[in-house]
Amino acid sequence: MKILAIGRNYANHAKELNNPVPAEPVVFSMPDSALLKSNKDFYYPDFSKDIHHEVEIVVKISRVGKNIPIEFAHRYYTEIGLGIDFTARDIQAECKKKGLPWEKAKAFDGAAPISKFITKDQFKDVNQMDFHLDINGKRVQTGNTANMIFSIDYLIAYLSQFFTLKIGDLIYTGTPEGVGPVKIGDHLEGALEGEQLLDFKVK
Q: What does the binding site for Zn ion look like in residue numbers (CB under 5 A)?
A: 54, 85, 175
Work out the angle at residue 53's Cα, subtended by the Cα atoms of residues 56 and 154, and round it to the nearest 5 degrees. 25
Q: Which is nearer to Zn ion, 69 or 109 (CB)?
A: 109
User: Three-state DSSP class for 93?
Assistant: helix
Cβ of residue 174: shortest distance to Zn ion, in angstroms?
6
Cβ of residue 6: shortest distance to Zn ion, in angstroms?
7
Burial code (b: 16+ CB inside 10 Å, e: under 16) for 152-190 equals bbbbbbbbbeeeebeeebbbbbbbbbbbeebeeebebbb
> Could you give the C-alpha distances from 164 to 128, 131, 193, in angstroms and in order?
27, 28, 30
Give the CB-nearest residue to Zn ion.
85
Cβ of residue 45: shortest distance to Zn ion, in angstroms?
17
Length of the chain: 203
Q: Which is nearer to Zn ion, 78 or 90 (CB)?
A: 90
Q: Which is nearer to Zn ion, 141 or 175 (CB)?
A: 175
Q: Which is nearer to Zn ion, 59 or 65 (CB)?
A: 59
The DSSP element (H or E) to which 96 belongs, if any, is helix 89-98
> Could you give the C-alpha distances from 81 to 18, 95, 165, in angstroms and in order?
28, 29, 18
Cβ of residue 29: shortest distance to Zn ion, in angstroms?
12
CA distance 190 to 199: 7
Cβ of residue 14: shortest distance to Zn ion, in angstroms?
11
- Of the CA atoms within 13 Å of residue 70, those in its CB half-sphere come to 7
Q: Which is nearer to Zn ion, 65 or 107 (CB)?
A: 107
Cβ of residue 5: shortest distance to Zn ion, in angstroms?
6
Q: Which is nearer to Zn ion, 85 or 153 (CB)?
A: 85
Q: In what order do the strands lie in the sheet with 87-88?
A: 87-88, 51-53, 180-181
